[in-house]
């Protein structure tokens, strides 16, 4: 998708390196670097500000309903989610609220006193005491710095990996030294199953190293392609203007959004809340930091122009049914093998005048009717220099 800007992201090399190294170490079961990275992760300083850790914690519990509110209503988190999610949730997330609350200190108290959210569905029964407001604000202050918690898949693969590793060790010890179990088949079976599992995990990890299929991050604005493309019938190229003439398809700039949203101030799903973010960004002159979904590594050069213009590729061939997605998800693994496979099968437009100068042999074959089409790899489409330089 969007061609990354190489220069700005030297650091990504290291990320890739780090990742590769980390995985490598994981695969070789060397634990200590993991500890290193964990240490560096934990090293981040909490911005305490005016709230104490305790207040933040209490606020968090209130918000999540672990401690009941005095006025009786249950919790906030059932509507305002606190973890990133796979399915779209049109309600404002806790993080959104936290950011707003950081900008406007009276935001939350306004909400509770009812003035701000009069008429907003679901807030009828909400009322907080001053102390509670303060605690929730404390939680918000923490949340605004840290963002939403990552939605983690359970069970933890790594844990199972080590668990089965341990089992394997036990089985081996049993087989060689202890010999307590009379039926030899049991430890042997355990050993084989665990070994098989390990091989599977290792090969899967190795294959998916650096791939991010099914990556679907939550974006700062709940921009739904389904709403815009399917319901409103907006063409992809209306926003992704670079597709035809640049390597990058381009993420639309804010003023492009405003072309419509100057008028359309309220959405069908999220009301004004999400659309307001665009206006806020325009006012504050801060661009929106979208999360990049389709990301190719720095050493891969890909041009949308060639693929869309010359190759006549439909967006969906690489990006999937975006018009069906609320949250955009990477549907292909974007691996080199995937590219190569397509290049081996896809036919080029051999009538393009560019090909008229050289490629005599192919032209001849074509004339003689030996072949009726030329694939990309026949004109050098699987050479390294096509994508790596």
Radius of gyration for the chain, computed over Cα atoms and rounded to the nearest angstrom: 27
CB of 13 to another protein, least distance (A): 5
Q: How far apart are CA 82 and CA 60, in angstroms?
A: 10
Contact between 358 and another protein (CB under 8 A)? yes
Q: Return the number of the residue (79 or 251) whose C-beta is nearest another protein.
A: 251
Q: Does 206 sit near another protein (CB under 8 A)?
A: yes
Give the span between the Cα atoms of 202 and 208, in whole angstroms. 10
Exactly one of 73, 90, 107, 338 binds another protein (CB under 8 A); which one? 338
Question: Considering only residues 4-23, where is the footprint of another protein by CB under 8 A?
Answer: 4-23
In 13-22, which positions are buried (b, 16+ CB within 10 angstroms) versus exposed (e)? eeeeeeeeee
Task: Print the binding letters for residues 292-331 with another protein: x by CB under 8 A, - otherwise.
Answer: x--x-xxx-x-xxxx--xx---------------------
Is 192 an interacting residue with respect to another protein (CB under 8 A)? no
27 Cβ contact list (under 8 Å, min separation 6): 202, 205, 206
Q: Which of 288, 331, 342, 376 binds another protein (CB under 8 A)?
A: 288
Contacts of 184 (CB under 8 A, 6+ apart): 175
Question: CA dist 18 to 7, 295, 299, Å?
Answer: 19, 17, 16
Residue 151, interface with another protein (CB under 8 A)?
no
Which residue, 60 or 295, has its beta carbon nearer to another protein?
Answer: 295
Question: What residues numbered 110-149 form the site for another protein, per CB under 8 A?
Answer: none
The 3-state DSSP class for residue 83 equals strand
Which residue reads 């992809």 in tokens? 236
80: closest CA among 65, 95, 102?
A: 95
List binders of another protein among 34-63 (CB under 8 A). Answer: 34, 37-38, 40-41
* Residue closest to 114 by CA, chosen among 128, 102, 104: 128
Residue 247 binds another protein (CB under 8 A): yes
User: How many positions of this chain bind another protein (CB under 8 A)?
Assistant: 101
3 binds another protein (CB under 8 A): yes
Nearest residue (CB) to another protein, 163 versus 217 = 217
Does 195 participate in binding another protein (rule CB under 8 A)?
A: no
- Sequence-distant (6+) residues with CB within 8 A of 147 are 95
Helix axes 10-27, 32-42, angle to 10 degrees: 140
Q: Which is nearer to another protein, 228 or 386 (CB)?
A: 386
Q: Give the nearer residue to another protein in terms of CB position, either 3 or 133.
A: 3
Q: Which of 354, 364, 371, 373 binds another protein (CB under 8 A)?
A: 354
Question: Considering the rule CB under 8 A, would residue 87 count as an interface residue with another protein?
Answer: no
> Residue 56 in 3-state DSSP?
helix
Task: Return the residues of window 213-232 that contact another protein according to CB under 8 A.
Answer: 215, 217
Task: State the minimum distance, in angstroms, from the CB of residue 197 to another protein.
Answer: 18
């Amino acid at each position: 998708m969007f061609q990354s800007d190489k220069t700005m992201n030297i650091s990504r090399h290291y990320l890739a390196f780090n990742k590769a190294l980390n995985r490598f170490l994981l695969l070789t079961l060397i634990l200590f670097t993991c500890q290193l990275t964990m240490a560096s992760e934990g090293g981040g300083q909490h911005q305490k500000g005016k709230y104490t850790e305790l207040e933040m914690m209490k606020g968090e519990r209130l918000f999540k309903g672990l401690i009941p509110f005095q006025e009786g209503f249950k919790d906030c988190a059932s509507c305002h989610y606190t973890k990133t999610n796979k399915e779209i949730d049109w309600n404002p997330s806790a993080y959104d609220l936290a950011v707003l609350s950081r900008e406007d200190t009276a935001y939350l108290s306004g909400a509770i006193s009812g003035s701000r959210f009069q008429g907003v569905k679901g807030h009828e029964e909400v009322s907080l005491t001053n102390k509670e407001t303060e605690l929730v604000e404390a939680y918000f202050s923490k949340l605004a710095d840290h963002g939403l918690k990552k939605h983690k898949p359970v069970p933890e693969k790594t844990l199972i990996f080590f668990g089965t590793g341990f089992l394997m060790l036990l089985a081996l010890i049993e087989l060689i030294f202890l010999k307590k179990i009379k039926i030899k088949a049991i430890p042997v079976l355990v050993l084989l199953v665990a070994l098989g599992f390990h091989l599977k995990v290792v090969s899967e990890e190795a294959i998916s190293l650096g791939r991010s299929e099914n990556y679907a991050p939550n974006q700062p604005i709940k921009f739904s392609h389904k709403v815009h493309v399917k319901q409103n019938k907006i063409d992809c190229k209306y926003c992704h203007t670079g597709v035809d003439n640049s390597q990058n398809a381009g993420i639309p700039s804010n003023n492009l959004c405003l072309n419509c949203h100057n008028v359309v101030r309220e959405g069908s799903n999220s009301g004004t809340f999400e659309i307001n973010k665009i206006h806020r960004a325009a006012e504050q002159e801060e661009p929106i930091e979208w999360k990049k979904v389709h990301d190719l590594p720095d050493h891969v050069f890909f041009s949308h122009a060639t693929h869309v213009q010359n190759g006549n590729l439909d967006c969906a061939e690489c990006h999937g049914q975006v018009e069906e997605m609320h949250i955009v998800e990477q549907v292909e693994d974007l691996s080199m093998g995937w590219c190569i496979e397509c290049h081996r099968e896809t036919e080029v437009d051999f009538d393009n005048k560019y090909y008229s100068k050289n490629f005599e042999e192919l032209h001849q074959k074509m004339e003689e009717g030996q072949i009726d089409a030329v694939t990309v790899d026949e004109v050098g489409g699987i050479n390294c220099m096509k994508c790596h330089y």
